[in-house]
Amino acid sequence: MSANQQRILFTKPLSEHRKALLEQMVEVTEVKALEPVLLPISELPEPKEWIIVTSPNALESIRILLEQGWGKNSKWATVGFRSQEKIAEFGITTTIKANHGKDLVSKLPESGSAQYLCGKDRTPAVENYLSSNDWDFETIETYWTQATHPHVNFNNFDAVCFFSPRNVTSVLRHNEWPTSGTDALAIGPTTAEALIKQGITPLVVPETPDVLLLTQHYLELKAHGSSK
């Protein structure tokens, strides 16, 4: 680890793949701001043509069904490395692999049938796409998240990366944002809005909600005074 690496606090656990890549660029510290609460599901309708998953938590909640072979003949569309790794544990091949919700909908066909396995708190990108196109789909909530309100010292970091409005609220509940010395990074515009409501202006908001891209933009900004 280089002595002059930027120290960044990521306010959710990262996939092992993402973390390994980030550790080549910055000093990584993780804190869990939201704790998933699974809704164990032991019965589901017959699987449709497609099954869409945006979190490994959704897969864990239907573990029993997956072990029984549910969905083995469907096409699977997943978001994130952790979802892809989790579904592979059940011997299922992912048809569409995406980095985030917008990436996923850009790869989905314009028509089909699907079950969308998701959390109670979610962005509307997937459902908006399915609703505006010729899809017969069913949304199945498989987990929800509760805030952990972690105690952290922001002064120990050059930057803090936030991932959602609820993530922002949880992290700032018991921690005062410093007046200088620490930059706020937002994964997307809704997270940026949540920070601004707290009186914090994010330094970087990437066009694509990808933590690697966000980190690269931040490092470019710190090194050259501009981001691409």
Average per-residue pLDDT in the chain? 93
Query: Looking at the structure, do residues 63 and 135 belong to the same domain, yes or no?
Result: yes
pLDDT at residue number 186: 97
Q: CA-CA distance, 50 to 74, in Å (whole number)?
A: 6
Instruction: Say yes or no to pLDDT of 228 above 60.
Output: no
Q: Angle at CA 107, nearest 5°, toward 102 and 108?
A: 100
The answer to whether residue 106 is domain-embedded is yes
Instruction: Say yes or no to pLDDT of 181 above 80.
Output: yes
User: Which CATH number goes with the domain that contains 12?
Assistant: 3.40.50.10090
Number of structural domains found in the chain: 2
pLDDT tens digits for range 202-212: 999 998 888 99
Range of the domain at 29: 7-33+151-224
Query: Looking at the structure, do residues 156 and 137 belong to the same domain, yes or no?
Result: no
Instruction: Say yes or no to pLDDT of 1 above 60.
Output: no
Task: Report the percentage of the chain scoring pLDDT > 90.
Answer: 82
Q: CA-CA distance, 82 to 65, in Å (whole number)?
A: 19
Other C-beta atoms closer than 10 Å to the C-beta of 100 total 18
The answer to whether residue 1 is domain-embedded is no
pLDDT tens digits for range 116-161: 999 998 888 899 999 999 999 999 999 999 999 999 999 999 999 9
The answer to whether residue 68 is domain-embedded is yes
The answer to whether residue 178 is domain-embedded is yes
